[in-house]
Structure 1
Amino acid sequence: MPEIVNTAQAQAWNGPEGAHWARHQDRWNAVNGGFDEPLLDAAGVTAAHRTLDIGCGSGQTTLLAARRAPQGLAQGLDLSGPMLAEARARAVREGIANVSFTQGDAQAHPFEPGGFDAAISRYGVMFFADPAAAFGNIGRALRPGGRLAFVCPTEPALNGWVVALAALRGILPLGDFDRPGRPGMFSLAAPDHVRAVLGAAGYTDVAVEQVTADGNWGQGTEDAADFLLSSGPGRHLMGQVAPAEQARARRVLVDHLRDHEAADDGTVRLRSTSWLVTATAA
């Protein structure tokens, strides 16, 4: 068994949350895929690069990195067994051989020192139990001068899915789920904190750039509302109220999403605003 330090996240991503993401991998890629090319460009993945994908999930960015480096390789690391099973199956279906997937904890995994040219992550680095230790371990896996590039959310108010859920305040017990800086999705929302964490982990040349992408959340407001409410935060909030409040929350969310429904094809798009972070390993 791999050494796991971040036990709470391992439990979540090997339970209902991981199963949900594995089952809906194509939908989540439609939500977040607008960041894929900027991420890989920032990491400089080309030709014979050896790329490590942290929190790779069902493997979208890992497979893209492998395609960019046909003479190189890409390795995905994730806590989630269900998502990694989907990643391996997808690699087989797409005939990509220069890729592998490993279950493990980035904070404790015994990477080969200097084994990679670049490390990337699309929304996979916000949940570390000890961020400085995890980024330090990733840095040791990079060759000297190797490139770290990752995408993480900016402040909640600049992300459409958070604004949509916030419209349900007073119906669902939202609490402070959308407060930046607390452990979880928005733990790296403050650029100064990002720079401090990476500096403590031994990186140099840290740069933080704001990037945006419009994600496809569904075909029509009913579909998009159901998908958003079936996600981890939505499912958690809905599970705390009675059926009457659940039905009311869904109606309010459907109404909110009407402003984001395309007139031509009914696609519901919400804007995500993220930090594209790059740094150099010592």
Structure 2
Amino acid sequence: MASEVFDYDAELRLHNEHLRAAARVGSGDQVLDVGCGTGLTTREAARAAVDGGALGVDVSASMVARARLLTDAEGPRNATYQQADAQVHGFAPARFDVCISRFGTMFFADPVAAFTNIGRALRPGARMVLLVWQARDRNEWAAAIRESLLPKPPTPTPKAFSLADPSATTAILTTAGFTDVDFTDVHEPVHYGPDADTALDNVLRLLKFDDLLTPLTPAAADRARARLHTTLAAHDSGNGVHFDSRAWLVTARTRSGEAGS
């Protein structure tokens, strides 16, 4: 399974350090991890919450299955997982002290409904800490990789950047019942592998990029892969293949005296 799942943890290692520091998970906290992927952020939160616990949720069955396997192998025992859509899942009310998400909240069909639902699961005054991408034009990886595969790519969907505008995102979170919304700039590179060959395999494992090759003839697909390899090689610093990126670290709280509603 490991070879079939893109290694987001390696790609986002530096971003993850910012998320962990901002979350400030306490020893007795109960933590909700939205879009947990293969569970690294859930396991880290659970290790900090030694007298509490962490629940990771993700819509991907394969990601959740991998998270459970990794946790069975390395612990901790207070990390658990559930395949669920956080937008509509019936969480126990006022259960969690902290909600974290590493690039897992940009794809909601109805973000106000989603964050309202998440807010109901949080206790009064609970913290929420999110990493979300800034605008597409501030993220080198978003254009460079796609354009190397297809010189004239189709207009991409904006979902990955749906929370990029601080004003719009503040309005969403405020409407959903959160307060004290704040944004911190995170300027770190994303990592695709130790060398261009490995990075090529990793990037093509990302379904969205692989799908771009599907309509092409075999010869055209080979040319696209060659262009991508050239782009990746140009970003090989000798310490791995990196692309510039900008993200927001978004923090907020549920209102004191009431869970998010």
TM-score with structure 1 setting the length: 0.85
Tell me what 2:43 maps to. 63
Residue in 2 that maps onto 1:174: 153
Aligned to 1:274: 247
Measured in 2, the distance between the counterparts of 1:226 and 1:23 equals 10
Q: Check if 1:202 corresponds to 2:177.
A: yes
Paired amino acid for 1:216: H
User: Residue in 2 aligned with 1:247?
Assistant: 222
Distance in 1 separating the partners of 2:254 and 2:244:
31
**Partner in structure 1 of residue 5 of structure 2:** 24
- What is the count of residue pairs matched by the alignment? 255
Query: How many angstroms apart in 2 are the aligned matches of 1:199 and 1:71?
Result: 31
2: CA distance, partners of 1:23 / 1:59:
16
Post-superposition offset of 1:270: 1.8
State the identity as a percent.
38
Give RMSD over aligned pairs.
Answer: 1.9
Correspondences of 1:1-282 after superposition (within 5 Å): 23-24=4-5, 27-168=7-148, 171=150, 174-177=153-156, 182=158, 184-263=159-238, 265=239, 267-282=240-255
Asked whether the 8 Å contact 1:31–1:215 carries over to 2, the reply is: yes
Query: Contact 2:181–2:252 at 8 Å: present in 1 too?
Result: yes
- The structure whose RCO (Cα within 8 Å, separation 6+) is larger is 2
Alignment deviations for residues 173-215 of structure 1 (CA, whole Å, 9 cap, x no partner): 52221x7xx3x21111211111111111011111111102223
Whichever residue aligns with residue 252 of structure 2, its letter is: A
Structure 1 unmatched ranges of 5 or more: 1-18
Unaligned runs of 5+ in 2: 256-261
Distance 2:221 2:152 in 1: 11
Give the deviation of 1:24 after TM superposition.
Answer: 2.8
Q: Secondary structure at the match of 2:10?
A: helix
CA contact (8 A) 1:167 1:256 kept: no
Q: Measure how far apart 1:108 and its partner are.
A: 1.4
Contact 1:164 1:257 in 2 (8 A): no
Shift of 1:150: 0.6
Q: Distance in 2 between matches of 1:277 and 1:43?
A: 11
Contact 1:167 1:252 in 2 (8 A): no
Instruction: Specify whether residues 260 and 168 from structure 1 end up closer, same or farther in structure 2 by C-alpha distance, changes over 3 A only.
Output: closer
The alignment partner of 1:109 has SS state of coil
In the other structure, the counterpart of 1:4 is: none
Q: Which residue of 1 aligns with 2:259?
A: none
Superposition TM-score, scaled by structure 2 size:
0.91
